[in-house]
Each structure stands twice: as C-alpha cells, then as structure tokens.
Amino acid sequence: MNYPNGKRAMKHSSNKIKQPNFSNRGMTLEEDIAAANEFYRAAGIAVVHKKPTPIQIVQVDYPKRSAAVIKEAYFKQASTTDFNGVYRGRYIDFEAKETRNKTSFPLSNIHQHQIDHMKSCYEHGGIVFLIIKFSAQDEAYLFPSEHLFPYWEDQLNDGRKSIPYQVIKEKGVLLPFHYQARIDYVKAIDKLYF
C-alpha cells in the first residue's frame, strides 16, 4: 500500500512489540521557564527574559555572503543570573539549576559572582530566588535567596557543601508543571512575597 506521500508502508518482520524510547522526552528547565515566560508576557502577567551571556567575537569566517561562521569567541565577563524582569511592580531576578542528585542540591552549581549579584538585588528590594529542578524526582522548587545565603556562607567556612533536598522541600515552594506555564513560578512568588 502506498501512502499519500508516495512512501510504501513498512513491513514488520516480527511480531515483537517495540518499546517506546523515553530518553530526552522532557524539556530542559530553562526551556520550560522560557515557555512560562512567553505565556506570562502574552497574558499580561509578567515580563521576564533570559539574560544573554556576554561574549566577544574574535574571528568570523564568511564562506558565503549569506552564511557567517563564528570561529573564535570568548566570554567578556562572568554572567550574573539566568533571568530577570518585572512582576506586579517588583523586580525579580533568579537562577535556574538542575541536579541529578536525589538527596541535595550541590552549591558547586552556583558561583560567587552570582551570589554577589543576587545579594545586591535582594538588598535593593528585588525578589530573588533559585528555581531548582531535581531530575530524579521530576520536581522543581522555587527556593528563596534568603534561605540560600546562609548555606552559601556556611560552605565558605568549611560547612556543608550542599542544601539538603528536605530543606528545599520545606523552605521552598513546589512548582507544578502545567500546559501553558510549564513551570508556574509566579504563583509561588505570590505565596511567598505578596
């Protein structure tokens, strides 16, 4: 039998049922947040954008007039956090992190310049937080910066190098996955800050 696209139907040589492949079926955390941000902008709820990483282009090849290929580039400076914007008249600034660790969030996933930036925004009245996704549990949490900072300071003084999953679960807010706003973090902001 030929299908409308002209291709022939494939014949199956065995009656063995092929199991579906679920690898890479989920989107990344940043893609989920980007989809939520697009929904928030379209619905007039919030304006939040991913910050571009500042790079300096050093060498570009032009094999064709219409196709430029960047051959060499470097980071101009260390980036700050992943996302920033405005929600309900307040500045929001946050970092998105994923971990495969089942029992804790390693602080090695964050850098000192990011903490410095987050503290500065927090001190000026911004709403600052982490969105942490535990891949093994398929759960994401909004974790307020005011709970992050003590763990950061403690690890600098030879303390614990991670935040326990249970602490994030207790002090953070579970972010449900939805169709339109895949990671609906504004409801968690409402719960914590408004």
End-to-end CA distance of the chain: 62
Over residues 60-66, mean pLDDT = 78
Does the pLDDT of residue 166 top 60, yes or no?
A: yes
pLDDT score of 57:
77
Q: What are the chain's domains?
A: 29-193 (3.40.1350.10)
Residue whose C-alpha is closest to residue 84's, from 114, 117, 49, 43: 49
Summarised one tens digit per residue, pLDDT across range 82-102 is 999 999 999 999 999 999 999
Q: Where are the alpha helices (DSSP H) in 43-156?
A: 112-123, 145-156
Does the pLDDT of residue 56 top 80, yes or no?
A: no
Beta bridge partners of 72: 59
Does the pLDDT of residue 63 top 90, yes or no?
A: no
Q: Using an 8 Å Cβ cutoff, are 21 and 51 in contact?
A: no
The length of the chain in residues reads 194
Summarised one tens digit per residue, pLDDT across range 100-153 is 999 999 999 999 999 999 999 999 999 999 999 999 999 999 999 999 999 999
Whether this model's pTM surpasses 0.95: no
* Residue 123 CB coordination number (10 Å): 9
pLDDT score of 4:
54
User: 5-9, 14-18, 83-87, 134-138 — which is least confidently predicted?
Assistant: 14-18
Edge-to-edge, what's the strand order for the sheet holding 127-134?
46-50, 83-87, 90-99, 127-134, 139-144, 173-175
Comparing 55 with 36, the larger pLDDT belongs to 36
DSSP E strands in the chain: the ranges are: 46-50, 55-64, 67-75, 83-87, 90-99, 104-106, 127-134, 139-144, 162-164, 173-175
